[in-house]
Copies of this chain bind each other. A is one copy, B any other.
Amino acid sequence: MKPRKQPRQARAAATVDAIVEAAARILERGSLDQVNTNAIAKRAGVSIGSLYQYFSTKEGILAALIRREHMQLRENIIEAAEAGRDQSFEEATEALLGAAVAHKLDRPRLHRALEYAEAVLPLDAEAHELNALIVGRVVELFVIHGIDEPKETARDVVALAKGMIDAARTAGETDHADLQRRLKRAVFGYLRGPVSPTIAR
């Protein structure tokens, strides 16, 4: 599943990108089982032979695609977290949520499909690692701002945000601002901590 050879020339790198993006496009308007190597090669404008020059298996292509997306999300998150160090808690939280929303609602069908592909491929490790990174940044934020039980809280906040974003994606929502408003409400509500049964008026 490792790339077969490192593309040394720019042309080769372009070919690799074309192949990965072709897989993304097919996933985007079909399902995982419509992604076959011949289709990828055709869409990438490359012969099947060339495709196998750069990837030794079909899974390798999907893995590359997943890594590409992981990397992007990772960068967005890191960037938001860096910035957050100089911001208020509210601003920092919003920035992190915004990074997640932006990433997932961009090419929603692709990310939906990849979520499953991730589970099927032996990439659990990488997925876990990414999740750990995200949770880690949230923990960091929580620690800075004195939130109790930062680890458990961070884990749950990430999970509930993910659930809401996924549901929004499934429902075809496109209004980032509205989604982010509700996310904020959920997150800050959760942070309020254990609630007395009487809250409900």
The interface of chain A, by Cβ under 8 A from chain B, is 31-33, 88-90, 112, 116, 119-120, 145-147, 152, 155-156, 158-164, 166-168, 182, 184-186, 188-195, 197, 199-201
A160 to B146, alpha carbons, bound, how many Å? 24
The CB with the most chain B CB atoms within 10 A, among A89, A162, A164, is that of: A164
Partner of A186, one of B33, B88, B112, B186: B186
Question: Which B residues are in CB contact (< 8 Å) with A89?
Answer: 197, 200
A195 to B197, alpha carbons, bound, how many Å? 18
A167 to B132, alpha carbons, bound, how many Å? 12
Partner of A163, one of B31, B32, B160, B200: B160
Question: Which B residues are in CB contact (< 8 Å) with A152?
Answer: 182
Min CB gap A103→B, angstroms: 16
Question: Which B residues are in CB contact (< 8 Å) with A155?
Answer: 167
State the number of copies, please.
4
In the complex formed, the residue of B with least CB distance to A155 is B167
Partner of A199, one of B120, B168, B191, B201: B191
Chain A interface main SS type: helix
Question: Which B residues are in CB contact (< 8 Å) with A190?
Answer: 185-186, 189-190
**Given A120-B31, A185-B190, A201 and B158 touching (CB < 8 A)?**
no
Question: Which B residues are in CB contact (< 8 Å) with A168?
Answer: 159
In the complex formed, the residue of B with least CB distance to A182 is B156
Question: Which B residues are in CB contact (< 8 Å) with A186?
Answer: 156, 160, 186, 189-190
A95 to B14, alpha carbons, bound, how many Å? 55
Are B31 and A119 within 8 A (Cβ)?
A: yes
Question: Which B residues are in CB contact (< 8 Å) with A158?
Answer: 167
Min CB gap A144→B, angstroms: 10
Question: Which B residues are in CB contact (< 8 Å) with A120?
Answer: 31-33
**Given A120-B31, A163-B166, A166-B159, A194 and B200 touching (CB < 8 A)?**
no
